[in-house]
């Protein structure tokens, strides 16, 4: 978890600095699409809601895949490939955890 936080802070820091160490932002403007006093907050709220909805839908799809793999682990018909399913289950669980961490999602949708 600490390693993820360090990576995240390094990415954020490097995105704000140019190669010579100075801020890459020009004229006091923020990130792309962020302008001071132009009312962009109202225009972007719909897009942010849409993106958040897509993020939550994808998380739900990952959780369905996880549930399917967990169910298959207990079924007799899948005993021959038990190690493969177990590995896939561990991998999908890691992807879900990384996804939740990256998008600051809480455990509310499980």
- 47-101 tens-digit pLDDT: 788 898 999 999 999 999 999 999 999 999 999 999 999 999 999 999 999 999 9
Taking each helix axis from N to C end, the angle separating 40-74 and 82-102, rounded to the nearest 10 degrees, works out to: 160
Q: Which residue has the tokens 């923020």?
A: 30
Residue 16 is assigned to a structural domain of this protein: no
Q: Both tokens of residue 87?
A: 């590995």
- pLDDT tens track for 9-49: 554 444 444 444 544 444 444 555 544 555 555 556 787 88
- Number of Cβ within 10 Å of residue 85's Cβ equals 19
How far apart are alpha carbons 65 and 88 in whole angstroms? 10
Domain range spanning residue 70?
Answer: 54-110
List strand residue ranges (DSSP E) for 1-109, in order.
Answer: none
Residue 24 is assigned to a structural domain of this protein: no
How far apart are alpha carbons 1 and 54 in whole angstroms? 25
| Predicted TM-score (pTM) of this structure | 0.56
Residue 64 is assigned to a structural domain of this protein: yes
- Domain count for the chain: 1
Q: Which residues contact 28 (CB under 8 A, 6 or more apart)?
A: 36
């Amino acid at each position: 978890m600490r390693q993820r936080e360090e990576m995240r802070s390094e990415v954020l820091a490097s995105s704000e600095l140019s190669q010579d160490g100075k801020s890459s932002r020009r004229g006091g403007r923020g990130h792309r699409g962020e302008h001071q006093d132009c009312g962009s907050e109202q225009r972007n709220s719909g897009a942010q809601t849409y993106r958040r909805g897509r993020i939550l839908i994808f998380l739900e799809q990952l959780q369905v895949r996880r549930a399917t793999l967990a169910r298959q682990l207990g079924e007799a018909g899948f005993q021959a490939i038990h190690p493969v399913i177990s590995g896939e289950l561990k991998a999908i669980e890691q992807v879900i955890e990384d996804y939740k961490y990256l998008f600051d999602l809480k455990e509310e949708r499980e």
